[in-house]
Amino acid sequence: MARTFFIGGNFKLNGTKQSIKEIVERLNEATLPKDVEVVLCPPAPYLDYATNLVSKPQVTIGAQNAYLKASGAFTGENSVEQIKDVGAKWVILGHSERRTIFGEDDALIAEKTKFALDKGLGVILCIGETLEEKKAGNTLKVVEKQLDAAIAQIKDWTNVVIAYEPVWAIGTGLAATPEDAQEIHASIRAYLAKKVSSDVAEKTRILYGGSANGQNAHTFKDKKDVDGFLVGGASLKPEFVDIVNSRN
C-alpha cells in the first residue's frame, strides 16, 4: 500500500507572528502535491494564530510537546485538550531535545503518547541515537528500546507517525546518507512487524529527522521505507516548500 508522504516542520523555540505568517503564506501560495500531509509545529503561543492562517487542506498544525494530564496544577505544561481546542491536530513527543535537555525518559514519553492518542491527537513519536551510541554500534538497540516503551502503551497505531532522528545529525549539518536512512527505517519497520503486527508495520509512516533540507530531500525519494521528513531549521526557510515538493 502507498503511505501518504508526510512532512513535519518543527519550529522549535523560534518564530514571531510575522515570521510564522510568512511561512504559512508561502505554503498557502505554493503549488503542493495533493498526496502530501504537512504538519507545522510552531511554539505553543502561536498554535491558535497559525491554525487560523492555514488555507491549504494538506496543511495542519501541531504542538511541539504535551503533558499527560488534560488540566490541573501543572504550570508551564501544554494540555492536549487545549491543543485540540485551538484546532491543532498533532503533537511531537519524544524529541531528542526533550530527552536530553529536559530529561524525559522512554516511560514518560510512552505515557504521554498514550494519553495524546487516547484524547484524539496524532503523535509524531521521535526516536534516535546519539553519536556515542552510533559509534558503539548500538543504533538498533537504542531505537528498539525507545520503541518498546511505546509499544507497551499504544493499542491503536492509526494516528502514530515515527520520526527517526539520529541525534548526531540534528543541527550539525551532518546527515545520514539516503542508503543509511533506508537501512535503519527498514529495520524499524521489521521490528514493528515483529513486536506489533505486519499490518501496523506496513501502514505506519517512518520519517527521517536528521538535518533534511531543500538540497538533500530529493535524494531520499526512491527509498521505500522513508515516508517523509521531520524538518527542523529548514522549516523556517523558503526551502521548506522544496522539501514538501521533493517527491515530485
pLDDT in tens, 218-244: 999 999 999 999 999 999 999 999 999
Q: Find the DSSP H helices in the chain.
A: 17-29, 47-53, 80-85, 96-100, 106-118, 131-135, 139-153, 178-195, 198-203, 240-244
Enter the DSSP assignment of 144.
H
Active-site pick, 97, 104, 129, 165: 165
Arithmetic mean of pLDDT, 127-136: 88
State how far the Cα of 88 lies from the Cα of 100, in Å rounded to an integer. Answer: 26
Residue 41 is predicted with a pLDDT of: 98
Q: Is 95 a catalytic residue?
A: yes
Phi, psi of 172 (to 5 degrees): -105, -15
Residue 157 is predicted with a pLDDT of: 98
Q: Is 97 a catalytic residue?
A: no
Enter the DSSP assignment of 2.
P
Residue 108 is predicted with a pLDDT of: 98
CA 82 to chain centre: 20
* Greatest distance between any 2 Cα atoms in the chain: 48
CA 227 to chain centre: 11
Arithmetic mean of pLDDT, 206-214: 89
Residue 171 is predicted with a pLDDT of: 67
Cell of 11: 519550529
Q: Are 30 and 238 in contact (CB under 8 A)?
A: no
Cell of 173: 549539518
Q: What is the pLDDT of residues 54-107, one digit of tens each?
A: 999 999 999 999 999 999 999 999 999 999 999 999 999 999 999 999 999 999
State how far the Cα of 226 lies from the Cα of 164, in Å rounded to an integer. Answer: 10
The b/e string for 61-91 (b: 16+ C-beta within 10 A; e otherwise) is bbbbbbbbeeeeeeeeebbbebbbebebbbb
Q: Are 41 and 92 in contact (CB under 8 A)?
A: yes
What pTM value is reported for the model? 0.96
CATH number of the domain enclosing 93: 3.20.20.70
Active-site pick, 37, 95, 97, 185: 95
Give the domain extent around 152.
5-244
**CB neighbourhood size of 1 (10 A):** 5
Q: How many domains does the chain have?
A: 1
